[in-house]
Amino acid sequence: MPNIKDQSTVNAIAREFTSNGRNAYKAMIVLGYSVNYADRRSAMVLGSVGVKAAIAEIDAKIAKKQGRTVESLDTMYQEAFDLGKKSRQPAAMNGSVLGLARLYGMDKDAGVGEKTVIIISPKVERKSVVNKEIEDGTKST
22-35 pLDDT, tens digit per residue, is: 899 999 999 999 99
Range of the domain at 78: 70-103
Give the phi and the psi of residue 24 in degrees, each rounded to 5: -65, -40
Q: Are both 49 and 92 inside the same structural domain?
A: no
Taking only the tens place, the pLDDT of each residue in 44-57 is 998 888 999 999 89
Give residue 129's pLDDT band: very low, low, confident or very high (50, 70, 90).
low
Spatial separation of the C-alpha atoms in residues 117 and 28, rounded to whole Å:
37
Nearest to 38 by CA among 11, 8, 17: 17
User: Tell me, what's the pLDDT at 137?
Assistant: 60
pLDDT of 123 > 90? The answer is no
Q: Are both 77 and 58 inside the same structural domain?
A: no
The count of domains in the chain is: 2
Enter the pTM of the model: 0.49
Mean pLDDT of 3-16: 88
Q: Are both 81 and 59 inside the same structural domain?
A: no
Q: Are both 48 and 19 inside the same structural domain?
A: yes
